[in-house]
Amino acid sequence: MNHFFKVQSLEQVMALSHQFSAVSIEKVPISDSFFRVLAKDIDATHDIPGFRRATMDGYALHSGSTFGASESNPAWLEVTGSISMGEVPSFSIQSGQAAKISTGGMLPDGADSVVMVEHTEVIGGESAALTGIDREDKAPASYSPTVEIYKSVAPLQNVIDKDEDFKKREKILKSGTLLRPQEVGLAAALGICELPVYKIPKVGIISTGDEIVPIDETPQLGKIRDINSYTLAGLITEAGAKPVQYGIIKDNEEALLSACLKALDETDMVLISGGSSVGNRDFTVNVLSLLKDTEILLHGISISPGKPTILARYSVNHVKPIWGLPGHVVSAMVVFKIVVLPFLRQIQGLSSCKTKNSSILIPAILTKNVASAQGRTDFIRVKLVKQLDINLKDKYQIFAEPILGKSGLIRTMVMADGLLEIGENVEGVERGDLVNIIPFKRE
Protein backbone atom coordinates (compact mmCIF):
# COMPACT_ATOMS: atom_id res chain seq x y z
CA MET A 1 0.00 0.00 0.00
CA ASN A 2 3.08 2.31 -0.14
CA HIS A 3 1.76 3.88 -3.33
CA PHE A 4 -1.18 5.32 -1.40
CA PHE A 5 1.00 7.66 0.65
CA LYS A 6 0.20 11.13 -0.71
CA VAL A 7 0.66 14.16 1.48
CA GLN A 8 -2.20 16.69 1.80
CA SER A 9 -2.06 20.17 3.29
CA LEU A 10 -3.51 20.94 6.70
CA GLU A 11 -6.16 23.10 5.05
CA GLN A 12 -7.22 20.23 2.76
CA VAL A 13 -7.49 17.91 5.75
CA MET A 14 -9.65 20.34 7.74
CA ALA A 15 -12.07 20.58 4.81
CA LEU A 16 -12.82 16.85 5.27
CA SER A 17 -14.37 17.38 8.72
CA HIS A 18 -17.76 18.25 7.22
CA GLN A 19 -18.09 14.71 5.88
CA PHE A 20 -18.86 13.60 9.44
CA SER A 21 -22.12 14.42 11.20
CA ALA A 22 -22.90 14.90 14.87
CA VAL A 23 -23.86 12.09 17.20
CA SER A 24 -27.50 11.53 18.17
CA ILE A 25 -29.53 13.71 20.55
CA GLU A 26 -30.86 13.09 24.04
CA LYS A 27 -32.71 15.11 26.68
CA VAL A 28 -31.04 15.57 30.06
CA PRO A 29 -32.07 17.33 33.29
CA ILE A 30 -30.71 20.86 33.38
CA SER A 31 -28.52 19.91 36.36
CA ASP A 32 -26.73 17.36 34.12
CA SER A 33 -26.30 19.69 31.13
CA PHE A 34 -23.12 21.50 32.15
CA PHE A 35 -20.48 21.48 29.37
CA ARG A 36 -22.75 19.49 27.06
CA VAL A 37 -23.55 20.73 23.54
CA LEU A 38 -27.04 22.10 22.88
CA ALA A 39 -28.78 20.25 20.04
CA LYS A 40 -31.70 22.61 19.27
CA ASP A 41 -32.29 26.37 19.20
CA ILE A 42 -34.05 27.87 22.21
CA ASP A 43 -36.25 30.98 22.05
CA ALA A 44 -37.30 33.12 24.99
CA THR A 45 -40.88 32.30 25.99
CA HIS A 46 -41.19 35.60 27.87
CA ASP A 47 -39.31 38.80 28.58
CA ILE A 48 -36.41 38.55 31.02
CA PRO A 49 -36.55 39.76 33.78
CA GLY A 50 -40.19 40.51 32.95
CA PHE A 51 -40.49 43.69 35.03
CA ARG A 52 -38.50 46.84 35.73
CA ARG A 53 -36.19 46.22 38.68
CA ALA A 54 -33.82 48.39 40.67
CA THR A 55 -30.07 47.82 40.56
CA MET A 56 -29.42 50.09 43.55
CA ASP A 57 -30.96 50.86 46.93
CA GLY A 58 -32.67 54.22 46.72
CA TYR A 59 -35.88 55.82 45.50
CA ALA A 60 -37.95 54.88 42.47
CA LEU A 61 -39.25 57.92 40.62
CA HIS A 62 -39.89 59.50 37.24
CA SER A 63 -36.57 60.83 35.93
CA GLY A 64 -38.20 64.10 34.85
CA SER A 65 -38.84 64.95 38.50
CA THR A 66 -35.08 65.24 39.09
CA PHE A 67 -34.27 67.55 36.17
CA GLY A 68 -31.64 70.09 37.28
CA ALA A 69 -31.33 68.63 40.78
CA SER A 70 -28.03 69.29 42.54
CA GLU A 71 -26.63 69.69 46.05
CA SER A 72 -27.23 73.42 45.89
CA ASN A 73 -30.65 73.06 44.30
CA PRO A 74 -32.22 69.74 45.39
CA ALA A 75 -35.51 68.39 44.10
CA TRP A 76 -38.18 67.82 46.78
CA LEU A 77 -40.34 64.73 46.21
CA GLU A 78 -43.20 63.28 48.17
CA VAL A 79 -42.51 59.71 49.39
CA THR A 80 -45.68 57.75 48.64
CA GLY A 81 -44.62 54.34 49.89
CA SER A 82 -41.98 51.64 50.26
CA ILE A 83 -41.50 48.56 48.07
CA SER A 84 -40.39 45.27 49.61
CA MET A 85 -38.39 42.61 47.75
CA GLY A 86 -40.62 40.28 45.72
CA GLU A 87 -43.58 42.61 46.11
CA VAL A 88 -45.76 43.96 43.30
CA PRO A 89 -46.35 47.68 44.07
CA SER A 90 -50.01 48.51 44.66
CA PHE A 91 -49.54 52.17 43.81
CA SER A 92 -48.16 54.24 40.95
CA ILE A 93 -45.71 57.14 40.82
CA GLN A 94 -46.71 60.58 39.58
CA SER A 95 -44.51 63.55 38.80
CA GLY A 96 -43.07 64.90 42.04
CA GLN A 97 -43.37 61.56 43.85
CA ALA A 98 -40.94 58.80 44.86
CA ALA A 99 -40.99 55.40 46.59
CA LYS A 100 -38.26 53.77 48.66
CA ILE A 101 -36.90 50.65 46.93
CA SER A 102 -34.18 48.03 47.48
CA THR A 103 -31.88 46.42 44.94
CA GLY A 104 -33.89 43.93 42.88
CA GLY A 105 -37.22 45.47 43.77
CA MET A 106 -39.96 46.03 41.19
CA LEU A 107 -40.54 49.62 40.10
CA PRO A 108 -44.14 50.88 40.39
CA ASP A 109 -46.01 52.15 37.36
CA GLY A 110 -44.91 55.64 36.37
CA ALA A 111 -41.33 55.17 37.66
CA ASP A 112 -38.54 54.88 35.10
CA SER A 113 -35.39 55.31 37.19
CA VAL A 114 -33.86 55.00 40.65
CA VAL A 115 -31.80 57.60 42.46
CA MET A 116 -29.17 56.13 44.77
CA VAL A 117 -29.86 56.53 48.49
CA GLU A 118 -26.44 58.22 48.83
CA HIS A 119 -27.79 61.14 46.79
CA THR A 120 -30.86 61.69 48.96
CA GLU A 121 -31.85 63.00 52.37
CA VAL A 122 -35.12 62.31 54.16
CA ILE A 123 -37.19 65.17 55.57
CA GLY A 124 -40.05 64.75 58.08
CA GLY A 125 -40.82 62.50 61.05
CA GLU A 126 -43.17 60.09 59.32
CA SER A 127 -40.72 59.70 56.43
CA ALA A 128 -38.02 58.67 58.89
CA ALA A 129 -40.17 55.79 60.05
CA LEU A 130 -41.02 54.94 56.46
CA THR A 131 -37.46 54.89 55.19
CA GLY A 132 -35.60 53.63 58.24
CA ILE A 133 -33.44 56.78 58.50
CA ASP A 134 -33.34 58.44 61.95
CA ARG A 135 -33.33 62.22 62.34
CA GLU A 136 -33.26 64.39 65.48
CA ASP A 137 -35.57 67.04 63.96
CA LYS A 138 -38.52 64.73 63.39
CA ALA A 139 -41.51 66.61 62.02
CA PRO A 140 -45.06 66.07 63.28
CA ALA A 141 -46.80 62.96 61.94
CA SER A 142 -49.22 65.13 59.99
CA TYR A 143 -46.44 66.26 57.69
CA SER A 144 -46.15 64.49 54.34
CA PRO A 145 -42.94 62.39 54.12
CA THR A 146 -40.47 64.10 51.78
CA VAL A 147 -37.08 63.24 50.27
CA GLU A 148 -34.51 65.68 48.92
CA ILE A 149 -32.78 64.55 45.69
CA TYR A 150 -29.27 65.96 45.17
CA LYS A 151 -28.52 64.47 41.75
CA SER A 152 -30.56 64.17 38.57
CA VAL A 153 -31.03 60.79 36.91
CA ALA A 154 -31.72 59.77 33.31
CA PRO A 155 -34.47 57.38 32.18
CA LEU A 156 -33.63 53.75 33.12
CA GLN A 157 -30.67 54.85 35.24
CA ASN A 158 -29.99 52.27 37.97
CA VAL A 159 -32.76 50.17 36.46
CA ILE A 160 -32.97 46.96 34.40
CA ASP A 161 -35.89 47.25 31.98
CA LYS A 162 -38.41 44.43 31.72
CA ASP A 163 -36.92 43.04 28.46
CA GLU A 164 -33.40 44.38 28.77
CA ASP A 165 -31.84 40.94 29.26
CA PHE A 166 -33.85 39.07 26.62
CA LYS A 167 -37.03 39.80 24.70
CA LYS A 168 -39.88 37.37 24.22
CA ARG A 169 -39.42 35.21 21.06
CA GLU A 170 -35.75 36.22 20.81
CA LYS A 171 -33.38 33.36 19.93
CA ILE A 172 -31.31 33.13 23.08
CA LEU A 173 -29.35 29.89 22.62
CA LYS A 174 -28.33 28.35 19.31
CA SER A 175 -27.81 24.71 18.49
CA GLY A 176 -24.12 23.86 18.76
CA THR A 177 -23.57 26.03 21.83
CA LEU A 178 -21.38 24.66 24.60
CA LEU A 179 -23.48 24.92 27.75
CA ARG A 180 -21.35 26.74 30.27
CA PRO A 181 -22.74 27.71 33.70
CA GLN A 182 -23.99 31.03 32.27
CA GLU A 183 -25.97 29.35 29.47
CA VAL A 184 -27.45 26.86 31.93
CA GLY A 185 -28.37 29.79 34.18
CA LEU A 186 -30.20 31.42 31.27
CA ALA A 187 -32.16 28.23 30.66
CA ALA A 188 -33.04 28.19 34.36
CA ALA A 189 -34.30 31.78 34.06
CA LEU A 190 -36.78 30.53 31.45
CA GLY A 191 -37.95 27.68 33.68
CA ILE A 192 -36.48 24.98 31.41
CA CYS A 193 -36.03 21.75 33.36
CA GLU A 194 -34.63 19.59 30.54
CA LEU A 195 -32.33 20.46 27.65
CA PRO A 196 -31.82 18.68 24.30
CA VAL A 197 -28.11 17.93 23.94
CA TYR A 198 -25.87 15.82 21.75
CA LYS A 199 -24.76 12.58 23.34
CA ILE A 200 -21.21 12.47 24.65
CA PRO A 201 -19.13 10.90 21.86
CA LYS A 202 -17.19 7.75 22.65
CA VAL A 203 -13.70 7.54 21.16
CA GLY A 204 -12.04 4.15 20.85
CA ILE A 205 -8.27 3.84 21.36
CA ILE A 206 -6.33 0.93 19.88
CA SER A 207 -2.60 0.77 20.58
CA THR A 208 -0.58 -1.32 18.12
CA GLY A 209 2.91 -2.74 17.86
CA ASP A 210 4.92 -5.83 18.84
CA GLU A 211 7.15 -3.55 20.93
CA ILE A 212 4.33 -2.21 23.14
CA VAL A 213 3.64 -3.76 26.56
CA PRO A 214 1.10 -2.89 29.31
CA ILE A 215 2.21 -0.25 31.82
CA ASP A 216 2.15 -2.75 34.72
CA GLU A 217 4.71 -4.93 32.93
CA THR A 218 8.47 -4.41 33.02
CA PRO A 219 9.54 -4.04 29.39
CA GLN A 220 12.37 -6.19 28.09
CA LEU A 221 15.05 -4.65 25.92
CA GLY A 222 13.55 -3.46 22.66
CA LYS A 223 10.07 -2.95 24.16
CA ILE A 224 8.33 0.08 25.71
CA ARG A 225 5.29 0.66 27.87
CA ASP A 226 2.01 1.82 26.33
CA ILE A 227 2.08 5.60 26.76
CA ASN A 228 -0.23 6.65 23.95
CA SER A 229 -3.37 4.96 25.29
CA TYR A 230 -3.18 7.19 28.34
CA THR A 231 -2.10 10.47 26.76
CA LEU A 232 -4.83 10.12 24.13
CA ALA A 233 -7.40 9.18 26.78
CA GLY A 234 -6.52 12.35 28.66
CA LEU A 235 -6.84 14.52 25.56
CA ILE A 236 -10.21 12.94 24.74
CA THR A 237 -11.48 13.52 28.27
CA GLU A 238 -10.25 17.12 28.20
CA ALA A 239 -12.22 17.64 24.99
CA GLY A 240 -15.46 16.53 26.67
CA ALA A 241 -15.67 13.05 25.10
CA LYS A 242 -15.38 9.57 26.63
CA PRO A 243 -12.31 7.42 25.87
CA VAL A 244 -12.74 3.66 25.47
CA GLN A 245 -9.52 1.64 25.48
CA TYR A 246 -9.24 -1.58 23.49
CA GLY A 247 -5.83 -2.62 24.68
CA ILE A 248 -2.66 -3.47 22.80
CA ILE A 249 -2.87 -5.24 19.45
CA LYS A 250 0.22 -6.91 18.08
CA ASP A 251 1.27 -6.47 14.44
CA ASN A 252 -1.29 -8.90 13.12
CA GLU A 253 -3.83 -7.89 10.46
CA GLU A 254 -6.54 -10.29 11.64
CA ALA A 255 -6.28 -9.15 15.27
CA LEU A 256 -6.28 -5.47 14.30
CA LEU A 257 -9.24 -5.97 11.97
CA SER A 258 -11.23 -7.64 14.77
CA ALA A 259 -10.37 -4.85 17.22
CA CYS A 260 -11.37 -2.17 14.68
CA LEU A 261 -14.74 -3.79 14.04
CA LYS A 262 -15.46 -4.00 17.77
CA ALA A 263 -14.41 -0.38 18.35
CA LEU A 264 -16.45 0.88 15.38
CA ASP A 265 -19.50 -0.95 16.68
CA GLU A 266 -19.19 0.57 20.16
CA THR A 267 -17.80 4.08 19.62
CA ASP A 268 -18.21 7.16 17.42
CA MET A 269 -14.56 7.65 16.44
CA VAL A 270 -11.56 5.32 16.49
CA LEU A 271 -7.90 6.17 17.05
CA ILE A 272 -5.29 3.58 16.06
CA SER A 273 -1.98 4.47 17.64
CA GLY A 274 1.01 3.25 15.63
CA GLY A 275 1.15 1.54 12.26
CA SER A 276 0.66 4.65 10.14
CA SER A 277 4.21 4.88 8.81
CA VAL A 278 5.16 3.47 5.41
CA GLY A 279 6.84 0.14 6.04
CA ASN A 280 6.52 -3.60 5.61
CA ARG A 281 5.24 -4.22 9.14
CA ASP A 282 2.72 -1.35 9.30
CA PHE A 283 -0.73 -2.85 8.93
CA THR A 284 -3.14 0.03 9.54
CA VAL A 285 -3.68 0.99 5.90
CA ASN A 286 -4.05 -2.65 4.87
CA VAL A 287 -6.60 -3.32 7.62
CA LEU A 288 -8.61 -0.19 6.80
CA SER A 289 -8.66 -1.29 3.16
CA LEU A 290 -10.22 -4.59 4.25
CA LEU A 291 -13.01 -2.94 6.28
CA LYS A 292 -16.36 -3.04 4.50
CA ASP A 293 -17.81 0.35 3.48
CA THR A 294 -14.62 2.15 4.46
CA GLU A 295 -12.81 4.74 2.35
CA ILE A 296 -9.31 5.99 3.10
CA LEU A 297 -9.47 9.77 2.75
CA LEU A 298 -5.83 10.57 3.35
CA HIS A 299 -2.47 9.07 4.21
CA GLY A 300 -0.04 11.84 4.91
CA ILE A 301 -0.36 15.44 6.10
CA SER A 302 2.20 18.17 5.38
CA ILE A 303 2.89 18.83 9.06
CA SER A 304 5.74 18.03 11.40
CA PRO A 305 5.49 16.11 13.60
CA GLY A 306 2.69 13.83 12.37
CA LYS A 307 3.26 13.50 8.62
CA PRO A 308 2.16 9.81 8.24
CA THR A 309 -1.32 10.35 9.74
CA ILE A 310 -4.20 8.35 8.21
CA LEU A 311 -7.90 9.26 8.05
CA ALA A 312 -10.63 6.88 6.85
CA ARG A 313 -14.41 7.15 6.70
CA TYR A 314 -16.48 4.22 7.93
CA SER A 315 -20.06 4.36 6.60
CA VAL A 316 -22.00 1.48 8.21
CA ASN A 317 -25.13 2.76 10.04
CA HIS A 318 -23.43 6.04 10.91
CA VAL A 319 -20.46 7.78 9.27
CA LYS A 320 -17.48 7.58 11.62
CA PRO A 321 -13.86 8.76 11.35
CA ILE A 322 -10.99 6.32 11.86
CA TRP A 323 -7.55 7.77 12.51
CA GLY A 324 -4.19 6.10 12.12
CA LEU A 325 -1.88 8.13 14.37
CA PRO A 326 1.91 8.00 14.50
CA GLY A 327 3.33 5.79 17.22
CA HIS A 328 5.72 8.40 18.64
CA VAL A 329 4.04 10.01 21.64
CA VAL A 330 4.76 13.62 20.68
CA SER A 331 3.52 13.11 17.13
CA ALA A 332 0.33 11.44 18.35
CA MET A 333 -0.42 14.22 20.82
CA VAL A 334 0.31 17.04 18.38
CA VAL A 335 -1.83 15.40 15.67
CA PHE A 336 -4.70 15.03 18.13
CA LYS A 337 -4.46 18.65 19.27
CA ILE A 338 -4.16 20.15 15.78
CA VAL A 339 -5.97 17.72 13.47
CA VAL A 340 -8.18 15.25 15.34
CA LEU A 341 -9.71 17.72 17.80
CA PRO A 342 -11.59 19.76 15.15
CA PHE A 343 -13.16 16.52 13.84
CA LEU A 344 -14.14 15.55 17.38
CA ARG A 345 -15.77 18.94 17.85
CA GLN A 346 -17.67 18.32 14.61
CA ILE A 347 -19.21 15.07 15.84
CA GLN A 348 -19.85 16.61 19.26
CA GLY A 349 -22.22 18.99 17.46
CA LEU A 350 -20.30 22.17 18.31
CA SER A 351 -21.06 25.13 16.06
CA SER A 352 -18.87 25.57 12.99
CA CYS A 353 -16.90 28.42 14.54
CA LYS A 354 -15.79 25.98 17.24
CA THR A 355 -14.86 23.05 15.01
CA LYS A 356 -11.58 24.62 13.93
CA ASN A 357 -8.69 24.90 16.33
CA SER A 358 -10.26 27.64 18.41
CA SER A 359 -7.70 27.97 21.17
CA ILE A 360 -7.17 31.50 22.41
CA LEU A 361 -3.65 32.24 21.20
CA ILE A 362 -1.07 33.63 23.61
CA PRO A 363 1.27 36.30 22.17
CA ALA A 364 4.89 35.80 23.21
CA ILE A 365 8.40 36.87 22.24
CA LEU A 366 10.54 34.08 20.79
CA THR A 367 13.86 33.52 22.58
CA LYS A 368 15.70 31.56 19.85
CA ASN A 369 15.83 31.30 16.07
CA VAL A 370 13.75 28.38 14.79
CA ALA A 371 14.27 27.01 11.29
CA SER A 372 11.45 25.48 9.25
CA ALA A 373 11.17 23.70 5.91
CA GLN A 374 8.92 25.27 3.29
CA GLY A 375 6.04 23.14 2.05
CA ARG A 376 4.96 21.91 5.47
CA THR A 377 3.49 23.35 8.67
CA ASP A 378 5.74 22.87 11.68
CA PHE A 379 4.54 22.73 15.28
CA ILE A 380 7.28 23.50 17.77
CA ARG A 381 6.89 22.79 21.47
CA VAL A 382 7.54 25.87 23.59
CA LYS A 383 7.75 26.79 27.26
CA LEU A 384 6.18 30.10 28.27
CA VAL A 385 8.10 32.29 30.71
CA LYS A 386 6.80 35.48 32.31
CA GLN A 387 9.51 38.07 32.95
CA LEU A 388 9.56 41.65 34.24
CA ASP A 389 10.17 44.17 31.44
CA ILE A 390 13.27 46.14 32.41
CA ASN A 391 12.10 49.10 30.33
CA LEU A 392 8.59 49.28 31.76
CA LYS A 393 8.16 49.35 35.52
CA ASP A 394 5.70 46.77 36.88
CA LYS A 395 5.04 45.45 33.38
CA TYR A 396 5.62 41.86 32.35
CA GLN A 397 6.32 40.18 29.02
CA ILE A 398 5.77 36.56 28.03
CA PHE A 399 8.63 34.76 26.28
CA ALA A 400 8.41 31.52 24.30
CA GLU A 401 11.39 29.19 24.73
CA PRO A 402 11.53 26.49 22.00
CA ILE A 403 11.91 22.94 23.31
CA LEU A 404 13.66 20.92 20.67
CA GLY A 405 13.80 17.15 20.67
CA LYS A 406 12.78 14.02 18.79
CA SER A 407 9.10 13.11 18.56
CA GLY A 408 9.61 10.01 20.71
CA LEU A 409 10.64 12.05 23.76
CA ILE A 410 7.66 12.72 26.02
CA ARG A 411 9.77 15.03 28.18
CA THR A 412 9.46 17.68 25.46
CA MET A 413 5.69 17.65 25.98
CA VAL A 414 6.01 17.60 29.77
CA MET A 415 8.21 20.70 29.63
CA ALA A 416 6.01 22.52 27.10
CA ASP A 417 3.11 24.90 27.68
CA GLY A 418 2.00 25.07 24.06
CA LEU A 419 2.81 24.91 20.37
CA LEU A 420 4.27 27.45 17.97
CA GLU A 421 2.81 27.05 14.46
CA ILE A 422 5.13 27.91 11.58
CA GLY A 423 3.25 28.08 8.28
CA GLU A 424 4.14 26.02 5.24
CA ASN A 425 5.36 29.07 3.31
CA VAL A 426 7.60 30.35 6.09
CA GLU A 427 11.28 29.43 6.25
CA GLY A 428 11.53 30.08 9.97
CA VAL A 429 11.13 32.62 12.75
CA GLU A 430 13.78 34.66 14.46
CA ARG A 431 14.68 35.48 18.02
CA GLY A 432 12.74 38.53 19.19
CA ASP A 433 9.79 37.92 16.84
CA LEU A 434 6.31 38.27 18.33
CA VAL A 435 4.61 34.90 17.83
CA ASN A 436 1.26 33.36 18.79
CA ILE A 437 1.27 30.21 20.90
CA ILE A 438 -1.43 27.52 20.91
CA PRO A 439 -1.73 26.67 24.62
CA PHE A 440 -2.07 23.16 26.03
CA LYS A 441 -4.24 24.43 28.84
CA ARG A 442 -7.79 23.13 28.80
CA GLU A 443 -10.14 25.50 26.90
Strand partners, 146: 78, 123
CB 301 within 8 A of CB 331: no
- CATH code at 26-49+164-198: 3.90.105.10
> What is the rounded CA–CA span in Å between residue 47 and residue 30?
20
The pLDDT of residue 144: 62
Q: Hey, what CATH topology would domain 362-439 get?
A: Beta-clip (2.40.340)
Q: Hey, what CATH topology would domain 53-160 get?
A: Molybdopterin biosynthesis moeA protein; domain 3 (2.170.190)
Domains 2-24+200-355 and 362-439 alike in fold: no
- CATH code at 2-24+200-355: 3.40.980.10
The residue extents of the domains of the chain are 2-24+200-355, 26-49+164-198, 53-160, 362-439
Can you give the pLDDT of all 443 residues of the chain as single tens digits?
A: 444 568 999 999 999 999 999 999 999 999 999 999 999 999 999 999 999 999 999 999 999 999 999 999 999 999 999 998 899 999 999 999 999 999 999 999 999 999 999 999 998 754 444 444 444 444 444 456 899 999 999 999 999 999 999 999 999 999 999 999 999 999 999 999 999 999 999 999 999 999 999 999 999 999 999 999 999 999 999 999 999 999 999 988 999 999 999 999 999 999 999 865 555 446 788 899 999 999 999 999 999 999 999 999 999 888 999 999 999 999 999 999 999 999 999 999 998 655 555 668 999 999 999 998 888 999 999 999 998 776 766 688 999 999 988 888 999 999 999 999 999 889 889 999 999 999 997 54
Check: pTM over 0.75? Answer yes or no.
yes
